[in-house]
Amino acid sequence: MKVLVTGHKGFIGQNLCKAIREEGWELTTFDIIDNPTMRPKDLDFTDVDCVMHLGAISSTTETDVRKIMDQNLSWSIELYEECRNQDIHMQFSSSASVYGNNKSERILSENDICYPSSYYALSKYMFEQYALKRPQSRSVLQIFRYFNVYGPHEEHKGSQASPYTQFAKQAKEKGVIKVQPATVKVLFEHLVKYTFLLLALETFSAAYQKFSE
């Protein structure tokens, strides 16, 4: 299997490429940082089975609307059309930020109403809507709305890095973690939930490894 990953120099991209190599799949990459004038039609799709499209301006504070809409929306649409034309499957990285300030207390689903509150979120949501209106083809499109993701290789994101990475950096460099007083209660509630989730994942992982022996 041959996979093309866009945005491979980013946080998720670096970890994804590592996993693909470990899986033994053939990997080819593209990052607009290296080729800012290239468009999807210029990419080499030879023998590519699947495109994993991570490339985007991910900063939620970016205010250059034209730049965001070109790189996040137009570029994605052009890439999707290339995949459709060549019967190549595509995975698109969207974001949970498309939900915006959704105050529902239940678990959200892909069918919930979205309230994009940043240009970044809007660009992701607009691609989703574009893709949903296209007729079916042999090319399968999967869309993933990532929530809070953290791990190795996100240090370069600065203030856009996950709270976990920012707090870990503060603790290591200064010995303290600074947060706004009003957020402490919310952070604690989330910490309890994440701790429970991590324990559950560790238990599942151990059980799976035992089952696989």
Whether residue 94 is found in the same domain as residue 170: no
| Residue 75, pLDDT score | 98
Beta bridge partners, 90, equal: 51, 141
Whether residue 101 is found in the same domain as residue 181: no
Whether residue 140 is found in the same domain as residue 81: yes
| Residue 167, pLDDT score | 74
| Residue 196, pLDDT score | 44
Whether residue 100 is found in the same domain as residue 25: yes
Looking at residue 106, which CATH number applies to its domain? 3.40.50.720
| Residue 156, pLDDT score | 66
In a domain, residue 152? The reply is no
| Residue 157, pLDDT score | 65
Whether residue 21 is found in the same domain as residue 118: yes
In a domain, residue 153? The reply is no
Give dist(CA 6, CA 90) in Å, integer: 11
Question: In sequence order, which residues have a C-beta less than 8 Å from that of residue 179 and are 6 or more positions away?
Answer: 167, 187
For residue 63, count other CB atoms closer than 10 A to its CB: 9
| Residue 161, pLDDT score | 67
Candidate list 2, 115, 130, 157, residue with the active-site label: 157
Whether residue 64 is found in the same domain as residue 108: yes
Task: Tell me if residue 120 is catalytic.
Answer: yes
131-135's contacts with Cβ under 8 Å and 24+ in sequence apart are 131/80, 131/92, 134/80, 134/84
pLDDT per residue as tens digits for the range 81-110: 999 999 999 999 999 889 988 777 777 888
Candidate list 120, 146, 174, 193, residue with the active-site label: 120
Take residue 159 and report the two structure tokens written for it: 């203030």
| Residue 162, pLDDT score | 67
- Is residue 4 within 8 A of residue 48, CB to CB? The reply is yes
| Residue 108, pLDDT score | 80
Total structural domains within the chain: 2
Give dist(CA 109, CA 119) in Å, integer: 22
Residues with pLDDT less than 70, the chain: 155-164, 179-213
In a domain, residue 173? The reply is yes
Q: Which domain holds residue 60?
A: 2-146
Give dist(CA 83, CA 153) in Å, integer: 29
- Is residue 102 within 8 A of residue 125, CB to CB? The reply is no
Whether residue 175 is found in the same domain as residue 100: no
Whether residue 126 is found in the same domain as residue 175: no
